[in-house]
């Protein structure tokens, strides 16, 4: 256990942030936006502000005496071989592997029992590891592969096609793809999605009409065929295409937000075929799971908030004809298929249970899992006889098992040799009561000898939105926090998907305060039960979770000593005006929606609820200058507001990663630096004297 004492930080002098005179009017109410100028990510003034803030932050962090030790711990726990679940394409088995400290994982392949060979090494795509592999898709026979790359963590992609036999690039490079999968039609071509490239900043300009194209091999990108989303009546913010396993059908998913979609189907064997509506209502979700001839198998939460699997004929696929194959249960379903079977993973209080079903809906068996935690993958071709699954929890590094689809026999395939000794730590699930009486689960992980005396430096992590479920997963950086003497708690608050659609909706729009109340109640449970105390507690979350931390820190500045909002959505009155932000309106609502919605958003928006003369927690806002998902202006404006209004000696700083995005594809080298700073700041402001 680290030695803890009270540490008074010296009063900081922050860089001067100019205040502008921008005022917006919503329903007759004037709202000042003094830092609007920080939204211009291409201006010299913003660039100078970023440099000044980073200099101030690094100057503060230099006084943390054990930052180098933290970096060493993080580095050591990341330095072990990690591989993904294998998958078969053509004559080869493919998998991702990281030797330990490689900036990006490498794609390998092997034929039969032969030696694995490097297939794609993203580390060779750039000198500093900032170009990452962002997607990989194979043609039907595995002879061609399309891979996507991202530069600096951007959501914009480039696409390359290679011949998997010669390893040579074939065909033209495609550019300016965004929020896309790649779905092959035989070996002839593939479907992909993108937006028109914005005229202004591609990092922040609004993009709201997604379009599906078909690229035929051997043709130029300018000649790609418009498939869906190009007309006004087909306009949606998110559109994707999926070709059925037998190349007979094309299914389009069209959505305006991150929840709910329309679906349309076309028979690719009929040159005169037109779009057939599968589901017109946009209030629920549906996607193609697999098909067997004309029988389509769909996963949906239509009239089934916890999801189910239905079967329908492709000739008449609309909802009136759907037949249940695997009916809805009280637990949330996440299905996949392999070897002609359905694998149904259920969340039971955020813990995995997995069952195997026939395509007729007959249960074959429950799959025995090695422990309490999260299982995943269970994917494969229709003719596969073996599938692989991953298993992990907060103390077990991701382990891979093979599974015989016919016999149900499970065998250990790969157990990583992590330096982390999980046997020294315990995870415990508790249920606590939120403000309105709702029972909420939380998993607390700490050293097995930790004392419940309120002294443990503790990070409380949450997300609470977009139907995202926080299930037990191993993270080397979380393991580092545990090894540094900390405790780690994850609250499964409303807004997430742990208990299905109802749990999600209970944390959206005019019910968003439930999310913050659940998180506050989680912190109070940890304090009341002596897992920690306010002066030893840090709040952490990213993206929508960054909003969570900002809102809670503003509402209850006394709750925790440290706040760590990462890449957060902080300006709730303007979030929908940037990039694809308008697609988040299902969860948030918008300021233009109604006077009631405007007032509700303004009442919790982190940028708008910072008050002068209040002592806020020590805050380290983190973002990246190339984040085009949640633009960095959110974090810039929040940090500026805190620095202008906060009283007391606790620091309110911002750390702005350069040449990085929302988080995906972050090089290992940057990850080590980030966590040395974040954990150093946290422990220092929780009163840890030495480690």
**Which of the residues are catalytic?**
543, 662
How far apart CA 640 and CA 443 sit, in angstroms, is: 34
How far apart CA 510 and CA 495 sit, in angstroms, is: 12
Q: By C-alpha distance, which of 495, 584, 531, 534 is closest to 685?
A: 534
3-state secondary structure of 516: helix
Instruction: For the beta carbon of residue 270, count every other beta carbon within 10 angstroms.
Output: 9
Instruction: For the beta carbon of residue 419, count every other beta carbon within 10 angstroms.
Output: 15
Q: By C-alpha distance, which of 472, 656, 674 is closest to 46?
A: 656
Q: Token pair for residue 381? A: 């071709």
The CA-atom distances, in angstroms, between 590 and each of 26, 329, 395 are 11, 33, 40
Region at 260 (left for phi over 0; alpha for psi -120 to 50; beta for the rest) = left
Question: What strands, in cross-sheet order, belong to the sheet with 183-185?
Answer: 183-185, 189-194, 211-216, 225-228
Q: By C-alpha distance, which of 528, 633, 628 is closest to 570?
A: 633
Q: Token pair for residue 166? A: 């010669």
Q: By C-alpha distance, which of 545, 577, 488 is closest to 663?
A: 545
Angle at 281 between CA 277 and CA 287, to 5 degrees: 65
- Classify the C-alpha dihedral 505-510-511-514 as positive or negative: positive
Torsion of CA 350, 443, 474, 617, to 10 degrees: 120
How far apart CA 663 and CA 155 sit, in angstroms, is: 10
Instruction: For the beta carbon of residue 226, count every other beta carbon within 10 angstroms.
Output: 12
Residue recorded with tokens 């930790």: 450
Residue 657, strand partner residues: 624
3-state secondary structure of 379: coil
The CA-atom distances, in angstroms, between 225 and each of 187, 213, 221, 252, 370 are 17, 5, 9, 15, 48
Torsion of CA 632, 638, 643, 649, to 10 degrees: -110
Q: Token pair for residue 419? A: 């330096």
Q: CB neighbours of 646 closer than 8 A, spacing ≥ 6? A: 610, 614, 615, 616, 652
Most distant CA atoms of the chain, gap in Å: 76
Region at 216 (left for phi over 0; alpha for psi -120 to 50; beta for the rest) = beta
How far apart CA 278 and CA 445 sit, in angstroms, is: 45
The CA-atom distances, in angstroms, between 549 and each of 383, 552, 563 are 47, 5, 7
Q: By C-alpha distance, which of 474, 484, 457, 669 is closest to 70?
A: 484
What are the helix (H) ranges across 509-656? 513-528, 544-555, 585-588, 595-604, 633-645
């Amino acid at each position: 256990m680290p030695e803890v004492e009270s540490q008074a930080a010296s009063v900081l002098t922050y860089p001067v942030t100019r205040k502008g005179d921008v005022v917006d009017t919503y329903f007759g109410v004037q709202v000042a936006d003094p830092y609007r100028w920080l939204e211009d990510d291409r201006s010299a003034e913003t660039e100078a502000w970023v440099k000044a803030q980073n200099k101030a932050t690094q100057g503060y962090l230099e006084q943390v005496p054990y930052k180098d030790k933290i970096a060493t711990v993080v580095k050591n726990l990341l330095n072990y071989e990690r591989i993904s679940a294998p998958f078969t394409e053509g004559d080869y088995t493919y998998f991702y592997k990281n030797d330990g400290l490689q900036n990006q994982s490498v794609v390998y392949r092997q034929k039969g029992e032969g030696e694995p060979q490097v297939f794609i090494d993203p580390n060779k795509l750039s000198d500093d590891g900032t170009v990452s592999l962002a997607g990989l898709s194979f043609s039907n026979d595995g002879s061609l592969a399309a891979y996507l790359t991202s530069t600096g963590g951007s959501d914009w992609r480039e696409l390359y096609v290679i011949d998997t036999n010669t390893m040579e690039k074939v065909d033209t490079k495609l550019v300016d793809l965004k929020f896309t999968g790649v779905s092959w039609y035989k070996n002839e071509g593939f479907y992909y999605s993108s937006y028109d490239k914005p005229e202004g900043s591609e990092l922040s300009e609004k993009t709201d009409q997604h379009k599906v194209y078909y690229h035929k091999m051997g043709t130029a990108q300018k000649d790609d065929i418009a498939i869906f989303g190009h007309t006004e009546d087909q306009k949606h913010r998110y559109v994707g295409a999926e070709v059925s396993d037998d190349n007979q059908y094309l299914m389009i998913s069209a959505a305006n937000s991150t929840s709910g979609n329309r679906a349309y189907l076309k028979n690719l064997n009929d040159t005169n075929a037109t779009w057939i509506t599968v589901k017109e209502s946009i209030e629920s979700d549906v996607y193609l799971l697999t098909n067997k001839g004309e029988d389509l198998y769909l996963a949906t939460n239509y009239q089934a908030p916890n999801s189910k699997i239905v079967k329908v004929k492709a000739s008449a696929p609309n909802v009136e004809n759907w037949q249940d194959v695997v009916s809805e249960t009280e637990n949330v379903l996440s299905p996949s298929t392999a070897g002609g079977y359905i694998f149904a993973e259920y969340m039971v209080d955020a813990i995995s249970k997995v069952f195997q079903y026939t395509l007729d809906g007959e249960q074959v068996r429950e799959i025995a899992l090695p422990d309490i935690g999260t299982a995943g993958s269970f994917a494969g071709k229709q003719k596969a006889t073996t599938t692989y699954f991953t298993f992990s929890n907060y103390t077990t590094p991701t382990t891979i098992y093979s599974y015989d689809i016919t016999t149900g026999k499970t065998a250990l395939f790969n157990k990583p040799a992590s330096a982390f000794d999980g046997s020294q730590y315990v995870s415990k699930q508790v249920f606590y009561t939120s403000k309105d009486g709702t029972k909420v689960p939380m998993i607390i992980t700490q050293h097995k000898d930790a004392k419940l005396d309120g002294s443990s430096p503790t990070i409380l992590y949450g997300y609470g939105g977009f139907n995202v479920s926080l299930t037990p997963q191993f993270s080397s950086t979380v393991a580092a926090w545990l090894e540094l003497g900390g405790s780690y708690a994850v609250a499964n608050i409303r807004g997430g998907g742990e208990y299905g659609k109802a749990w999600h909706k209970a944390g959206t729009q005019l019910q968003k305060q439930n999310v913050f109340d659940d998180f506050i109640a989680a912190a109070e449970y940890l304090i009341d039960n002596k897992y920690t105390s306010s002066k030893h507690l840090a709040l952490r979350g990213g993206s929508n979770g960054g909003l969570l931390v900002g809102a809670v820190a503003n509402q209850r500045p006394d709750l925790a000593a440290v706040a760590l909002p990462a890449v957060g959505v902080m300006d709730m009155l303007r979030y929908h005006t940037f990039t694809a932000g308008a697609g988040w309106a299902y969860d948030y609502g918008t300021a233009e929606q109604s006077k009631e919605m405007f007032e509700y958003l303004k009442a919790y928006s982190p940028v708008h609820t910072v008050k002068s003369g209040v002592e806020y927690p020590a805050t380290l806002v983190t973002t990246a200058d190339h984040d085009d998902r949640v633009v960095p202006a959110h974090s810039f404006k929040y940090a500026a507001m805190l620095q202008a209004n906060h009283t007391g000696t606790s620091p309110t700083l911002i750390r702005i990663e350069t040449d990085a995005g929302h988080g995906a594809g972050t090089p290992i080298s940057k990850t080590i630096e980030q966590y040395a700073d974040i954990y150093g700041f946290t422990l220092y402001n929780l009163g840890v004297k030495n480690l």
